[in-house]
Amino acid sequence: MSGGPDSLALLVLAHAARPGMVAAATVNHQLRAEAAEEAEAVAEICERLGVPHITLPVQVPDGNVQSMARQARYSALAQWMTDSDLTLLATAHHADDQAETLLMRLNRGSGLAGLAAVREESPIPGAPDATDTNYRLIRPLLAWRKSELQHIVRDAGLEPALDPSNNDDAYDRVRLRKALAEADWLDPVALAASASHLADAHQALDWAAEREWNAQVEQRGESLVYRPDAPRAIKLMIVARIIAALGKPPRGGAVAQLVTTLENGQGGNVGGVLGSIARENSDADGTSIAWIFQPEPPRNS
């Protein structure tokens, strides 16, 4: 927990709902000089409430700071949970977060996976056993407004830390937050509910894509053969999975372009993977179309 109003409200609510069953951790990414002092302030609040607290320092590798910090954070939290025999990790994402994320991604033309945004429950990134349904990341505040959480912190007599963001989207979020505050006809709770419905739809597509994979994808040496028999949304998911398996994780736009190319009877490459068309004999109608994917051969230096 960061010591901001959202995480402090989560601490107060969790402690009230499950007294004696809650522990807290603050991850210090060591990217700001104030971080150590803020962690100490959180530790003092936890001591006052009788909640065990630990500060987890992490090193963030060079590169995409937001992505690397997230990876380091969840890896440290997963290890802490294992060491402390904890199975549920709660974060303080709330309805305003959901609404902002949904609108930002709509404005960028994101697909369903992006629009589904944050789910109420998901595996813990970096957890030792992501298939264990009792070892989960939960977000119990998605139906709460930020203003409600601020009232809880104020009523508890706590002073939250400033909530600086190291998010690459921080500037866009500030602008969007201001626009939402001025647009009283928009309901962040309803927008968050829509994001939840989109997450349900994405889960259904995941289920359908798994069936399509099992029925229509075949390993052939170093290649994967896909005989598409599904709507385009499922094809996109299958091709993205194939490219990730044979090459590098692809961008959604590149996958969509490759699928369009293959649907038009031509080949292409994405993420170090070549896609091509093959016509195969079929007992049903004489011929069928297969998409063949194989790693792109190394280039001569």
Q: Which of 168, 186, 204 marks a domain boundary? A: 186
pLDDT of residue 30: 85
Q: Closest by alpha carbon to 295, among 211, 215, 220, 213?
A: 220
Answer yes or no: is 29 within a domain: yes
Q: Are 291 and 160 members of one domain? A: no
Of 186, 206, 223, which marks where a domain is finished? Answer: 186
- pLDDT (tens place) for every residue of the chain, 301 residues total: 788 899 999 999 999 999 999 999 999 988 888 888 889 999 999 999 999 999 999 888 776 777 788 888 988 998 899 899 898 999 999 999 888 888 888 888 877 877 876 788 888 876 655 555 567 899 999 989 999 999 999 999 998 876 554 444 566 777 888 888 788 888 888 988 888 889 889 889 999 999 999 999 999 999 999 999 999 999 999 999 999 999 988 876 889 999 999 999 999 999 899 999 998 766 555 568 899 999 988 766 5
- Please check whether residues 170 and 251 belong to one and the same domain: no
Q: Do 123 and 223 fall within a single domain?
A: no
* Phi, psi (degrees; rounded to nearest 5) at 44: -65, -40
Q: What is the pLDDT of residue 104?
A: 87
- 277 domain-assigned: yes
What are the E-state strand segments in the chain?
24-28, 53-57, 88-90, 121-123, 136-138, 217-220, 223-226, 268-270, 273-282, 286-295
User: Does one domain contain both 165 and 224?
Assistant: no
Same domain, 263 and 156: no
DSSP 298: P
Six token digits for residue 40: 């100490």
Look at residue 171 in the predicted model and tell me its pLDDT: 63
CATH code assigned at 41: 3.40.50.620
Residue 227 resides in a domain? yes
Residues 60 and 152 reside in one and the same domain: yes
Q: Measured between alpha carbons, how far is 298 from 176 in angstroms, rounded to an integer?
A: 45
SS3 label, residue 140? coil
Give yes or no: residues 228 and 139 share one domain: no
- Domain with 276 in it: 215-295
Tokens of 225: 């053969």
- 192 found inside a domain: no
Q: What is the pLDDT of residue 168?
A: 47
Is 193 within a domain?
no
> 171 lies in a domain?
yes
Going by C-beta distance under 8 Å and a sequence separation of 6 or more, which residues neighbour residue 19? none
Q: What angle do CA 223, 229, 230 make, to 5 degrees?
A: 115
155 in the same domain as 13:
yes
Q: Which of 191, 72, 63, 84 lies closest to 135 in space, CA to CA?
A: 84
Beta pairing partners, 113: none
| Contacts by residues 201-209 (CB-CB < 8 Å, ≥ 24 positions apart) | 201/112, 201/116, 202/112, 202/113, 202/116, 205/112, 205/233, 205/234, 205/237, 206/237, 208/234, 209/234, 209/237, 209/238, 209/241
pLDDT at residue 115, rounded to an integer? 83
Is residue 85 in some structural domain? yes
Q: Is residue 35 located within the same domain as residue 116?
A: yes
**Do 10 and 101 sit in the same domain of this protein?**
yes
**Which of 169, 186, 203 delimits the end of a domain?**
186
Q: Are residues 182 and 224 in the same domain?
A: no
- Residue 207: inside a domain, yes or no? no
Task: Please tell me the predicted confidence (pLDDT) of residue 162.
Answer: 64
Q: Residue 263 contacts by C-beta under 8 Å, 6 or more apart in sequence?
A: none
Domain count for the chain, please give it: 2
Whether 87 and 173 map to the same domain: the answer is yes
Give the start-end residues of each E strand in 118-216: 121-123, 136-138
